[in-house]
Amino acid sequence: MNVIQTLTAIFLLVSSPLAIAAEDRFDIPRKKMLAEIVADMKYTAPVAGKTRLSEHTIKSMAETKRHLFVSRELLPYAYRNRPLPIGYGQTISQPYIVALMTELLDPDPEHRVLEIGTGSGYQAAVLAPLVKEIYTIEIVPQLHKKAKERLSKLGYTNIECRLGDGYFGWEDEAPFDSIIVTAAADHVPPSLVRQLKPGGRMIIPVGAQFVTQQLTLVTKDASGKVGARQILPVRFVPFTRGR
Ligand code: SAH
């Protein structure tokens, strides 16, 4: 064994139990969070029209480490089933809402998805294993930069991040199989409807700012006819416009 091999062996011996311990710390809270989400789904099934989460959504929620998307001070709360601040007046959504929105999109391995409101990148990370590609837009430069770096460091190769006003969607990459908007708008942006494929689904919180909004499922049928259905009351940070 040469010096480098010896040092590597010592490093592995010392570091791996620590790494495992760090993972274990979040393992139980993450399982508990998942159990709460599954229970929440049961309560809201009559309104949400979805009785349970698919195995794929559950697997992704179980494997996506929310503690890697929040700041150090908030680590003890990372697996609480509630939104948390991510700076600049924005929040990472409540895990149950992330799971529900993911489910309502009916993700498919062939789908190309547009997300408005990258925020921490957590929702995109949950969707990533379930679809082909995600195009995500964030309006706050600092959040865009941080999420882009985080997602790349975590090894996500099917998430494309862009800085800008998501009101206009992502024309160059349209049309999309589905669109997920994670900030509350007072109306459904027409360009997003246009960028949705026939047969596509958009999930968006619609309503006035700082009050309860309605999580709304917008569908476009094969002939291009658009319909909307309110799912349940939610509270999201506001959809802001061009800075
Ligand atoms: N999906 C995020 C939730 C972030 S909260 C997550 O999983 O962490 C909503 C985000 O939408 C905020 O970061 C906010 O800055 C962003 N946002 C608000 N209006 C926007 C707009 N017009 N275009 C793009 N992003 C917007």
Distance 116 CA to ligand 1 centre (A): 6
Distance 87 CA to ligand 1 centre (A): 11
Return per-residue pLDDT of the chain as tens, 243 residues: 565 665 555 455 445 545 555 667 899 999 999 999 998 888 777 777 777 889 999 999 999 999 999 999 999 999 999 999 999 999 999 999 999 999 999 999 999 999 999 999 999 999 999 999 999 999 999 999 999 999 999 999 999 999 999 999 999 999 999 999 999 999 999 999 999 999 999 999 999 877 889 999 999 999 999 999 999 989 898 899 875
Q: Is 203 in the pocket of ligand 1 (CB under 6 A)?
A: no
Query: pTM here?
Result: 0.90
5, burial (CB in 10 Å: exposed 0-12, middle 13-18, buried 19+): exposed
120 is catalytic: no
Q: Is 137 in the pocket of ligand 1 (CB under 6 A)?
A: yes
CATH architecture of 3-234: 3-Layer(aba) Sandwich (3.40)
Mutate to test the pocket of ligand 1, among 136, 140, 187 (most ligand atoms within 8 A of CB): 140
DSSP state of 184: B
Q: Is 159 in the pocket of ligand 1 (CB under 6 A)?
A: no
Q: Is 191 in the pocket of ligand 1 (CB under 6 A)?
A: no
Secondary-structure percent of the chain, ordered helix, strand, coil, rounded to 5 = 45, 25, 30
Strand 112-116 versus strand 176-181 pairing type: parallel
How many C-beta atoms surround the C-beta of residue 12 within 10 A? 10
- The tokens for 197 are 């494929």
**Residue ranges per structural domain of the chain:** 3-234
List 60, 71, 93, 223, catalytic entry:
93
